Amino acid sequence: MGSAQLLSAQTAPAQQEAPAQQTDTVEVQRTFDENAAMFSSLGTPKRYFVRKINVHGLEYLDANLVKASAELIEGDSIYLPSNYISNAINNLWNQRHYADVKIGAELDGEEVILEVFLKERPRIYNWEFEGISSSKKKDLIEKLKLRPNTELSDYIIDKNTKLIEKYWREKGFRNATVDHRITQRDTTRSQFVTMTFVIDRGERVRIGEINFKGNEQFDDRRLRRTFKKTHKKSINFFRGAKLNEEEYAEDKELLVDFYNSKGYRNATVLRDSVYDISSNRIGIDIDISEGNKYYLRDISWVGNSVYPTEQLQGMFGMSKGDTYDKKAMHKRLGIGKEENPEGMSVKSLYQNQGYLMSQIEPAETIIGADSIDLQIKVFEGKPFTINEVGITGNVRVDDEVIRRELYTRPGELYDRSMLMQTIRMLGSMGHFNPEAIMPDIQPVSNELVNVNWPLEEQASDQFNIAGGWGSGTFVGSVGISFNNLSIKNTFKPGAWRPYPMGQNQRLSINAQTNGTYYKAFSFSFTDPWMGGKKPNSFTLSAHVSEQNNAYYVWQTSTMHFRTYGLALGLGKRMNWPDPYFTFYGEASYERYNLKNWGSFIMSNGSANLFSLKFVLARNSVDQPIYPRRGSEFSFSVQVTPPYSLWDGKDYSDSSMSDNERYKWIEFHKWQFKSQWFQSLTPDEKLVLMVKAEMGYLGHYNKYKTSPFERFEVGGDGMSGYNIYGIDIISMRGYEDGALDPVDDYYSVAYNKYTAELRYPIILKPSSQIYVLGFMEGGNAFKSWQEFSPFKIKRSAGVGVRLYLPVVGMLGIDWGYGFDAPAGSTSKSGSQFHFVMGQQF
């Protein structure tokens, strides 16, 4: 029998923890004294063979994993004394699973039996919080990534305590304190404990004062306006007054940027301090060194050979004698944090012509007390050609469908503007998360570059069940839209999952009814690449509806209004004036059949409507759900043949029957719509949207004006049903149709203006939520002679939008109408509106 020796030992720092049970996970033949004498580290190392390794004290961990992590191997040869055991000790401590580690041995001739004594750290059974609400508890657990059945240590306690304090500081509770309590659970698994953080938030602390020192050129009020997130307490309750250290640091950079933009190149924040004013107010003092104001004395260009100096200087736009403006200079050069991949700059001029590695570096030389010589160094490099274009992440959408939307193609010159165009096109498809579309640019040589597109798919099909109120009755509707259909795979084995998909074709089927009184069905199919070779779209749609007086199933109708319609359209994506333009043409036929219908301009008979519609549109919006930049406009005209010019009938004859007068409907209809998006903050979250639109329904013969295809202005833009072919124009703050002339059937002209401020709450593939505030103005008219773009009814309000891929866009708005609706003398006042779908 050999002697027992303790080779190495290390004890963890004291901490509050549950006692551990020592359980042998490997059968031990001998009794070993854990407190045996330490093995002497002196003397000549001797070689031993590890006969066996016994692990003691484990309750949850696996002994074999312990041996592997310690790099202890049975049958291995070791030298004692040496650093072999101390390395094993360090390996075990690095796991952070143990409160105590000792390794001992029994020496038996040339063999050694290693004994590993471990004391496991307590395991977390549950995380608890005191002093806060359950919603905040859930938020903290998610943010701190707290999971049960993990080990507990002083490090974990200290780390999470600091993170909790930071969490509450960011919410304005700067004096929040966090304590902790460890509770032993009454269970046979003695290592499990409950970890409770005891939180005292204290009072919310707001900024009471922001003072500046050393500022002579601009007063405190002007400098405070440069801060975007850090504000002192004021009567403006929409503006926060809490101090967030990260946002405060960014605002100090904005302060320096402001001075730089005014010519004060050397402006800097010397020091700043945050101090307590009271228990719930703090003050901020900022000491500034403004320096001298500088002007550009000379501008020169070096290294440019592709573009002449005159062209680069013209794009740069700064001249000798101008005030030094660092922000504008970097923006026009396209460098630093002012670089905008979609904006026009000197760098984009090179990047859009293949010069991927081009660099622009301004060198400044101070001359005297107030002048700067600016030398702009251009490193052009070589033009790059696209070598390979890769696509990853797509499962539901076919590769060929994605590739035909790409503007980055192998063999072509690298062009950054085409990257941005591709990002917009992929986002507009609706199948990929627009927030995650970003190309991976990988140069493979001095002249070749690979462009990879990692994509994150999101659900795009939609199923809607909704209800609406129209003409005094509730109408239910159900609809389904397949937005990634593949007709060619209909008969392909295994393609139905759950329907043949992959070609980005769209099929929509909708039905509406309230029982027997009203029924409607519509169908539409669109192939955005008819034939798959060119971006020419094909659209086929049809609809049928009926309204009668059979309110119950057992009743037989004695009157009805039936509508049948069919439309065929072709669209083309244009390259001139730019790739954002599209042209669409449509031919449609509709037939209206009436029987004893006394509430319309005609009661019996049929009316036919054949028309051609042409739409010229341009869309540069970066993404469809929450746009941040770009614009969209459309100009459309819909015309019917002017039957009254050649049919020889006298439509001024008042004795002519309505059935004969409206047998063939004639009109010309004009509509113009435009909207523009612009982000207002560096993080591109706060977005301004402005929109304007107008419409006019004209006639060829004043005695043959169309009773169909008119406009209904007012309300939320939705209706329970529509049988007269009218266009419903939303106008929040007013009831449905409230702005239409009271002495006519709907309107023949309208105008509308909208301004919205939007801010996102959640932007994820599974859901997107944003809030908005709006101002609107608009009106409806019964003739073109009465039309005026300045006669408007005004409203303002707030709203929220929720986008779910399965159901589409949902929303609710509250609006206040400041003017009286048509036929009324009192203000429209407060109105709530529900919204379904995107509106343009």
- What is the overall mean pLDDT for the chain? 87
Assess contact for 557 and 542: CB atoms under 8 A: no
- What contacts 408, CB < 8 A, 6 or more positions away? 386, 389, 415, 418, 419, 422, 439, 451
Residue 723 has pLDDT above 70, yes or no: no
The span from the CA of 89 to the CA of 92, in Å, is 5
Residue 18 has pLDDT above 70, yes or no: no
The SS3 of residue 757 is strand
Residue 113 has pLDDT above 60, yes or no: yes
Residue 12 has pLDDT above 60, yes or no: no
Assess contact for 583 and 571: CB atoms under 8 A: yes
The span from the CA of 421 to the CA of 162, in Å, is 44
pLDDT, tens digit (0-9, with 9 covering 90-100), for 265-309? 999 999 999 999 998 999 999 999 999 999 999 999 999 999 999
Q: Does 434 sit behind a cis peptide bond, omega within 30 degrees of 0 on the bond before it?
A: no
**pLDDT at residue number 473:** 58
The span from the CA of 391 to the CA of 404, in Å, is 12
**pLDDT at residue number 459:** 85
**pLDDT at residue number 39:** 54
Q: Summarize the confidence of residues 697-722 as an average pLDDT.
A: 85
Q: Which candidate, 344, 421, 388, 349, places its Cα nearest to that of 575?
A: 421
Indicate whether this model's pTM tops 0.75: no
Return the residue matching tokens 């992440």.
393
Q: Summarize the confidence of residues 217-223 as an average pLDDT.
A: 94
**pLDDT at residue number 683:** 80
CA 4 to chain centroid, in Å, comes to: 66
The strand ranges marked E within 528-559 are 536-548
